[in-house]
Structure 1
């Protein structure tokens, strides 16, 4: 298949900044191959003696390989700061790679290269231009860039980076409801559920129409076993975003635990109908709940038919 590429220059970013590239690649690769769903995990960073480093999101069989080269500041044309993010595990004939770099004193560039069916490749490249071809001279660019970095960190389960970026946002505006939400999500994901809950509630006080905040609050409450309150929060999500598959899935889990099996089954089935759609919520980008949904439908159907005691649900989806 033909390889298509597109370049954006100037590309405004810091040295060795890889999260936006990784986030875009992870979102776009399923267009080439729908089974591209790496595990949401990071490897240790491998440091080379010459200053170069690499790390993997997912694993070597299915994931993203991220390679970083430092800029040494001499101004020579050969002096390159480079970030390369590429997919591992795609079938033969398919590839997706993003490369951000600057040579000497030239403005930084970013290039996307896609090998695959032409319509899919051109769709990915159109999204690439929309995502990365931004005006860095805009006075609000730095703030929007920080928000984008934070969302990328959450989508890639890079919780510590999400916490640092959200904290920086709050230094600029302590009452920013979006930043409070990001910090709450990151805190809860790192095991500080009560603190995360408090931050999400504070965010919702200032922005009661934020479906993301209601969603993550509902997941926190569900994982704490506070199912009735979780149901209320997840129903708020569905009022704001009708048919949202992730909210329907977790609503089914909460209802199942409460013993409200017909309602749980309805929620699971509705979520399964939407399983092939992309969630509109801020969640882990690699989440694929199709298998969990299919198992949940079978489990609840059997419990209803048998009229017996429902086996304890054993799957917790960590966001």
Structure 2
């Protein structure tokens, strides 16, 4: 196997994916909750997309941004689901370099795009609460569509160099990855070439995307909180804050495990491998399954539309 990895021809080299170390004998049983989570995630996000598309009353900026979030969650699931389930169900661990590079591109693209969408959703809440009279004129549907396109183009421009940088390396170390899917930090560790340039680029991109996006979201909520606290009516104050709960949950679900996983990969040399793997699965599985549930529960209009669709 190592001789294959030492070969500089990328199409003949392979990596080995990792499920849950020490639990290989129960991987088949572990696949059952994974399958359930994947099914719930795909069904939940697909239902939200269907409801928003078919109900003209939901063709508003807030719901358009929610549909963008659902699309990025589905893209993340589709990028990782086949290999993860193949590993747990059939113990199929091998993945070629080219397939691995393609997968990590789509994983990081989904991650970057979702971060951008969360910023747009924070901006939506900021305008709705701080400048409600201009909300309709600022967030027109054509402008919202252009914002979504910019999010995708931004992600492509930022993430596209990753696979090309990784292709320049020789892989002569252990060929075992830390997860059941490929991500840039994990693959980069297996190279025996000088990876400082790629590592600096990856860290810079993390700071300029997720770091900057989280800062913009934080500043948006500082302004929102300042506006809400100036409202004299306690009931109106709570009502305004209640419209932000779903978005705050989505932000915490996305950034907390992602930040932890990034820090462990870059600085946690002595950390437990099991912690890395579990945190990786939390980052991969929890946001896509929780986001549609939270938004369906918190949005009365969306919840009522879903109930009318399925209970007739």
Q: Which has the higher strand share?
A: 1
Same fold at TM > 0.5: no
| TM-score, normalised with respect to structure 1 | 0.26
Q: Bigger relative contact order, structure 1 or 2, given CA contacts below 8 A and separation 6+?
A: 2
Q: Which has the higher helix share?
A: 2
